[in-house]
Structure 1
Amino acid sequence: MIKIKELADCSGCTACASICAHDAIEMRPDAMGFLYPVVDTDKCIDCGLCEKVCSFNKSYDTSLNLLRPDAYAARHKNMEEVESSRSGAAFIAISDWILERGGAVYGVGYTDFFRVVHKRAVTRAERDEFKGSKYVQSDLGSIFRQVKRDLKSGQTVLFSGTPCQTSGLNAFVGERLREKLYLVDIVCHGVSGPYLWRDYLTYLEKKQGDKICKVNFRDKQRFGWGAHHETFEFVKSGSITFNYLFYQHEMFRHSCGKCHFCNIVRPRDITIADFWGWEKTDVNINKDDKGVSLVLVNTEKGRGIFEQVRRAMYVIPAKLEDCLQPNLQHPTRLHPKRMEFEREFQTRGFVYVMKRYGNFGWKSTVQAFGKRIKNKLRRMMRR
């Protein structure tokens, strides 16, 4: 049976729980809401499948990978899609192709009180909920089993998620069912705890005396593509913005600090990300600061679907060495006080740890906004 000796050895992908035919494994939350497998020894028959399916290790499946990924800068030709997406809307082009052929698309959306979860979509309206960044680890629930049911019924499936999630699903589905499964991962900086997000929203609603009706982890419309601001819309009192709160290294999952997928040998068909350093590829593709996607094509299957969807985008080949942002080279380094942060969150609560560790409050937002204005002025003067 699976045993987690070190917390950093588990990414919470749910593959072990999903493969257990006796439902002997339950995913239980820790103090910050990160899920870990717990085995019911009364139900377990010690078959070993849960251990075999675990792919959060250096031996994850790379049998289908190209020797080197094909790299591109990409932006959707429909500017409305770009403006409503986090980067250049490459995911929209790919998922549209799947939906047009009657396939199912899996991505990250929200459920009750904006809890971050994986969902299934078979229409564009359902899929559009997956747009935008969500820096909280998503709850996969029984999604892996649902994906397998779709594949067994002959349906084409696109699954998007973090590399640990795509690697876990790839191992769970197995070689026989992979033909109609397309995996898209993101270049992930790290994921924050669901309970932090829950308590953050509770705090904001209490402070405002109002209900939140919309959230945006990175408000591109107001602050531009390169900014990191969380904006919250309230039913009566409008919006408020905070700066960079859910990007702190104190609040990431332990496994993010030893991620095995922070390289160019990705465990999926296509990788998408913000294209930091796009200027080295083309000085005009993001001149308006609306966003541009980095696309890495990792497998022959990925090449096939990318050739089908590239007509919906402006695509420029890129040199791989110009695309190597930090998390394509090494894992995020967790903060030295990561464990202290968790203990104090558990004993003292959300407001205490955010004031101590985070950029928490209106002052940080004003400072960040002022810095953005100064940077814009500098760019204008250089022109």
Structure 2
Amino acid sequence: MEGFVKQKVGRTVEQVAQGYLNELANKNLILVARSKDDGSIKSFRIHDFLREMLLSKSRDQSFLMIVNEQTNECINKVRRLSIHGSWANFNPQRCVEYSYLPFDFVVGFKPPIGMGVLTSLYKLCFIEATPGIITELGKMKELRRLCILKLRREDGKDFCSSIGKLKNLQVLNISATAENEILDLDHLSSPPASLQRLYMSGRLENVPHWIKSLNNLVNVNFRWSQLRDDPLEYLQDLPNLVHLDLLMGYVGEELCFKARKFQRLKLLDLDKVEPLKQVIIEEGAMPNLEKIIIQRCTFLESVPSGIERLTNIQVLEFFDMPQEFVHKLLPDTLDGDYHKVAHIPQVYYTYWRDGAWEAHPLETKDEIGISSRPRTSIRCYDQRNSL
């Protein structure tokens, strides 16, 4: 929280800050733009008059200073340091004087030698994994958010050693050098207990054993993991898990959400999970689930068995599913599955057309000729949301 918020008994500084933001939103001083999976504020807008006042105060109090390659003077009062220019010429040793700052990187780059001196760094995003940065990560004990790219299998042991030292880490995003590169994450014996969001892109030989201990996890994302072991066994008892995303995350024919598991899950996204044929939802599983997205699961034979038990579900959306699959959901299809999803307020099937996603209500007649009902609704997604 960059020193603005003081910790209170029983609450982290982030929780205190969220309380302040909620208070401002309730008084209409800020406008909530996006929310996180857990309902907390992710981004917001401010009124023009408030923006002008904040900019004026920032200039008057030397709140922000932009440093480029021509800047040589030492700025003693600055709270946030933003460096513009070539990363190839960036020397972290120049910033030793500012090592106390809540330093913030938000762009991708190959990190230079000596990054470890930035011990008060809060966010380090989209950096490429190099032997130097992997070992120096452990010195950046204030890190809250880390996104690292091009991690190799042989980096696993040193990387896990460094991650184990980051006790304040809340968001960890790991990407391998390629889809088939194996992420070796089994050496992490003491994961950061504060971890809330975990994104892993790359092959996994098994689900990391330490995931079970992360009671604060809200969001888990497996991409291209191609797990042969059922990942649900490791995730089903996490008490705060709200969002689960599997993109090519599992290689198996069945996923079973067992009775009374995934108690807080609200969003489930299954994307290109093959050769998945069946999804089973047992009695009492996912009682708070609000949205299911199923994408490109071409082997899936029908909607999840037991979906009719989900009383809180609001949205069921299918992306690029076979026409035969969608046809079985229509109300006039003999022995179809319409009765399983009839209680869901919004059911869409979505296809990529002419550079945009088009989402049609299940019972709407469209050019594909899948269904029939007079009302029509189309939602368009820009190309940035394509898969």
Q: TM-score range by the shorter chain?
A: under 0.3
Larger radius of gyration: 2
Give the TM-score normalised by structure 1: 0.21
- With a CA cutoff of 8 Å and minimum separation of 6, indicate the structure with the bigger relative contact order: 1
